[in-house]
Amino acid sequence: MKSVLIGLALGLAAPALAQAREDTRYCAARAQIVAGLLAQFGERVRASYVGPDGAEYLLLASAVSGNWTVIRSADGGLACLFASGEGLPGLGPRV
């Protein structure tokens, strides 16, 4: 019963959390974000993917620290930070 209540609470809170995340996300020109991630964290573009929504998703990562970031880029050159984390295994040279 407790797990059902927790699942229900998370399900009801998800739209509010998504809205809060969208309101606080960082967006700028794609080139500016890519340059900033390289300068500050040593992250380079490792992969790109065009999603079903037509936006391009870039995975940037540092081979030294294992830190990674995914940015979502839409038409017009505007990009937003989408996700980030630490400890991405298996990073080799840029492909």
Q: What is the residue range of 36's domain? A: 26-85
Q: What is the pLDDT of residues 17-57, one digit of tens each?
A: 344 445 557 999 999 999 999 999 999 999 999 999 899 99
Separation of alpha carbons 29 and 27, rounded Å: 7
* Termini Cα distance of the chain: 49
Decide if 2 is inside a domain.
no
- 11-20, 32-41, 69-78: least confident range: 11-20
Decide if 3 is inside a domain.
no
DSSP 22: H
The total of structural domains in the chain comes to 1
DSSP helix/strand/coil, 73: strand
- Based on C-alpha coordinates, what's the Rg of the chain? 16
Decide if 11 is inside a domain.
no
Decide if 68 is inside a domain.
yes
Please give the pLDDT value at position 23. 53
Q: Length of the chain, please? A: 95
DSSP 84: E
Decide if 59 is inside a domain.
yes
Average model confidence (pLDDT) across the chain: 76
Decide if 66 is inside a domain.
yes
Decide if 69 is inside a domain.
yes
Binned at pLDDT 50, 70 and 90, residue 92 comes out as low
